[in-house]
Amino acid sequence: MSAEKRPSAARPFTPIQLKRRTPVPSDIEIAQESDIKPISDVAAELGLLPEEIEFFGPYKAKVKLEVLNRLADVPDGKYIDVTAITPTPLGEGKTTTTVGLSQALGAHLGYKVITAIRQPSQGPTFGIKGGAAGGGYSQVIPMEDFNLHLTGDIHAITAAHNLVAAAIDVRMLHESQATDEQMFERLMPKNKHGKRSFGRGLVGRLKRLGIDKTDPDDLTPEERRKLCRLDIDPATITWRRVLDTSDRFLRGVTVGRGPNETGHERETGFDITVASEIMAVLALTTGLADMRERFGKIVIGLDKAGNAVSCDDLGVAGAMTVLMRDAIKPNLMQTLEGTPVFVHAGPFANIAHGNSSILADKIGLKLADFVVTESGFGADMGMEKFFDIKCRYSGLVPNVVVLVATVRALKMHGGGPKVVAGKPLDTAYIQENLELLRAGMPNLLHHIQSARKFGIPVVVAVNSFATDTEAELELIRKMSIEEGGAVDAVVSRHWEFGGQGAVDLAKAVVKASELPSQFQFLYPLEWPIKQKIETIAREIYGADGVDYSELAEQRIEEYTRLGFDKLPMCMAKTHLSLSHDATLKGVPKGFRIPIRDVRASVGAGFIYPLLGEMSTMPGLPTRPAFYDVDLDLETGRVTGLF
């Protein structure tokens, strides 16, 4: 690829030299020992202008969206999506591979590269999984900032989401205690000159009701009633509250227990913030105006006549946009070798669409030869949603899928002992066992075929561990190409060696990016909801069919009546199996997918069916990761993150 297509940088790229040690220290030790560039240098090397960034301390910044206007005529770089096979509960190093590949492309092969990944949730950071900055010598730094707060985007989402929740309950309370005329007087009070006006928060509802009058006093009694009385049916409310902590005791709560709210109690609950529709909107929006429009379209429930009630109806969409006006800007950080990273949005891939933002990718593709982004969990989860949801809204066409596999995970799929986070691995995973490995290979081959159904070349990245043998690694390589149809399969040792350990992988990706491809979606949006659900279940999961609960049937009928049936599907299921059942490993056969509920994220622009017993609020284990996290009071450094 010709680097001349990219905008000129204020200064040439200078890699950071790794301070490698053997054995490899903990992630946080590596991160804190590393040299680090001022973020102003990272921005300058990337070709960003000083007026296009906003600093958050010396090592992180936000990038203003105006850069897209300046670079509108610049051709896009190559677009790489990193995904994985069905993982163990330990994860298979997908983020580490994403970072290592980027370091190899930028610090060793001389390409201009941007890594585009999600911001981690506090839930898993303090729970089981730990942080999400990568690992070993392929990490994003500062690691502590990356995993803790960053620039406050998740907090902004929490604030905006809970503002909507408060608006719903207080609107029902006030409507129950006032006449139509009283509601009219309160929503459109006279000013000191005796004149009324429609507040900005009423504009959306006026438009939806088809009322084009400009003076509130000209409204008929019927128009006043329609404008001022939402008449929300409490039984239909789907908008819960959110918190960015894994707190299982908030999965179900009763609100309205205060002395002044007697008689208005209702059952609701909390989701984790990264499952919020506002997070999904942040990841899928293409600009500030688009975000405002999407917020207005968010449906929180139905009125008693069966009509959808939106955030525009509540009059809260403008305030949501104000709370999110800074969060829409991608965050700029760097890898251990000084290559630039965009960190933006953080939707889970099992209960949301699991991809970082369209805006970060769009900006990155104008600035870099390669944008390496990552889809959450396995190819059946984040990758399918990357293609069928994210790419639909972005209009971007990916060039290569990098599919991460490990010997460990494939042995588990071959029938190996249960893998449990926090417990030592069984000897089956650390001793050569080609028979067990071969038995697990169908899971990898299935994921390769799933990616190929979208018409994109696949490169398998075998994330190598110290206990893997050459025979095991070669078996994966050979079967991936000969039986799976991958264009290449490369062993990568980026965790131990950084970008140097991923140079062969990077060369394979560059070569694959020049191959012709025929990208296509799995289904057209015009299909009915059920047909889209069943196509994903059959083609990606390998299910025999789909069974719908009575509630799911009702919701599908309801959403079809309301005109939401032309949206893409965002399947919420376990990431630990191709099926809905986390205990079914490998490539399960003879199963049917149960759909217990179907919900609509109209603002984000998708329908999300809930497969089996999916929880939108994780819980903490007996020994959470926060047991190890503390502050060194002498140095001020964070300890215990991983």
Pick the catalytic residue: 6, 78, 94, 555? Answer: 94
Q: Is 342 a catalytic residue?
A: no
Pick the catalytic residue: 56, 348, 495, 564? Answer: 495
Contacts with 445 (C-beta within 8 Å, 6 or more apart), sequence order:
479, 480, 483, 484
Give me the residue label for tokens 């009125």.
303
Are 323 and 166 a contacting pair, CB within 8 Å? no
Pick the catalytic residue: 327, 349, 451, 600? Answer: 349
What are the φ/ψ torsions at residue 72 (nearest 5 degrees)? -55, -35
Pick the catalytic residue: 62, 129, 294, 366? Answer: 129
Q: Is 208 a catalytic residue?
A: no
Q: Is 56 a catalytic residue?
A: no
Task: Give the helix/strand (H/E) hosting 552.
Answer: helix 550-561
Q: Is 538 a catalytic residue?
A: no
Task: DSSP for 472-532, please give it.
Answer: HHHHHHHHHHHTT--SEEEEE-HHHHGGGGGHHHHHHHHHHHTS------SS-TTS-HHHH
Q: Is 198 a catalytic residue?
A: no
Pick the catalytic residue: 146, 342, 370, 377? Answer: 377
Sign of CA dihedral 580, 581, 584, 586: positive
Distance in angstroms (rounded) separating the CA atoms of residues 187 and 202: 9
Pick the catalytic residue: 465, 497, 591, 606? Answer: 465
Q: Is 118 a catalytic residue?
A: yes
Residue whose C-alpha is closest to residue 357's, from 297, 436, 431, 294 = 294
Are 414 and 436 a contacting pair, CB within 8 Å? yes
Give me the residue label for tokens 């913030």.
273
Q: Is 236 a catalytic residue?
A: no
Distance in angstroms (rounded) separating the CA atoms of residues 135 and 94: 10
Q: Is 527 a catalytic residue?
A: no
Residue whose C-alpha is closest to residue 114's, from 331, 329, 340 = 340
C-alpha distances in Å from residue 371, one per residue of 46, 94, 343, 538 = 12, 15, 12, 31
Are 242 and 347 a contacting pair, CB within 8 Å? no
Pick the catalytic residue: 118, 294, 385, 493? Answer: 118
Residue 214 CB neighbour total at 10 angstroms: 9
Distance in angstroms (rounded) separating the CA atoms of residues 469 and 433: 9
User: Which class for 314: exposed (0-12), middle (13-18), buried (19 or more C-beta within 10 A)?
Assistant: buried
Sign of CA dihedral 150, 364, 607, 172: positive
Task: Report residue 232 as tokens.
Answer: 């929300």
E-strand stretches of 149-245 = 241-243
Distance in angstroms (rounded) separating the CA atoms of residues 108 and 335: 13
Are 37 and 31 a contacting pair, CB within 8 Å? no
* Helix intervals (H) in 210-287: 221-228, 277-284
Task: Give the helix/strand (H/E) hosting 535.
Answer: helix 529-536
Residue 156's identity, in one-letter code, is A
Residues making up the chain, counted from first to last: 642
| Enzyme catalytic residues | 94, 96, 118, 129, 349, 377, 465, 495
